[in-house]
Amino acid sequence: MSEKGKHIKLEDNSELSKNIFDVPEGYFNSLQSRLIENSESLLQQSDELKKLPFEVPTNYFDELTDSIMDKTIGAETKVIPITRQLWFRVTAAAASLVLVASFYFLLPNQAEADHSLTDISNDTIIEYLNAQQHSNENIFDGLDSLDLILDDIIAEELNVFADVLSTNTELNYDFEYFDY
């Protein structure tokens, strides 16, 4: 691209040098009076906002602690012992029974698990472990091939992008800025 095409001067283009904004007639003549009116109304509003609409009663904070103390210290509280009620005892016994029963029935019996493994031959266990190991290796082999496929896609897309840049010169702009 030539040096002449890179720079645009405002003086050379009559469309760019036109003022496209219009101001109504007499706009600046009444501007000062309108600004003063608006500022005065804002000052009046701010004075009204400074007034507090709520008041604290006289001697409120002096009497506050005495009022709280009278309401809390002098009051009798009714104590209801929880252990004397029948429903509490029955509920506690039922909960204990459920807890013991759940431990007994839900925990696996270790002796049965050990006995069931003794019935399986060592060769069968070794074959199973080898099969599991081979299946895990096959999973990792698939990941390597996936990486190769993704690399090919990226390379192909980059080549397409480079071709587009080489065929469309308007996309290959330097973006240099000069101060005049």
Q: What is the pLDDT of residues 76-124, one digit of tens each?
A: 777 777 666 777 788 888 999 999 888 888 876 665 555 666 778 888 8
Tokens coding 147 = 């990486």
Q: State the residue for tokens 């906002």.
A: 49
163 lies in a domain? yes
DSSP state letters, 157-179: HHHHHHHHHHH-GGG--------
pLDDT, position 54: 78
Domain that residue 137 falls in? 113-180
106 lies in a domain? no
For the cut 60, the answer to whether the pLDDT of residue 180 exceeds it is: no
| pTM of the entire predicted model | 0.22
171 lies in a domain? yes
Rg of the chain taking only CA atoms, in angstroms: 44
CA angle 146, 151, 154 (to 5 degrees): 125
pLDDT, position 155: 92
Count of domains for the chain: 1
CA distance to 95, 120, 131, per residue, from 127 (Å)? 48, 12, 6
The more confident residue out of 164 and 50 is 164
pLDDT, position 153: 92
> How many other C-beta atoms can be found within 10 angstroms of the C-beta atom of residue 80?
6
At 27, the pLDDT band (50, 70, 90 cuts) reads confident
Amino acid at 29: N
How confident is the model over 133-155, as a mean pLDDT? 77
5 lies in a domain? no
158 lies in a domain? yes
Beta-sheet strands, E only, within 16-117? none
172 lies in a domain? yes
The more confident residue out of 73 and 174 is 73
For the cut 70, the answer to whether the pLDDT of residue 42 exceeds it is: yes
- The Cβ-side half-sphere exposure at 125, using a 13 Å CA radius, reads 7
Tokens coding 85 = 């009620």
178 lies in a domain? yes
Considering all CA atoms of the chain, what is the largest pairwise distance in Å, rounded to the nearest integer? 106
Q: What is the pLDDT of residues 163-174, one digit of tens each?
A: 887 887 776 666
For the cut 80, the answer to whether the pLDDT of residue 9 exceeds it is: no
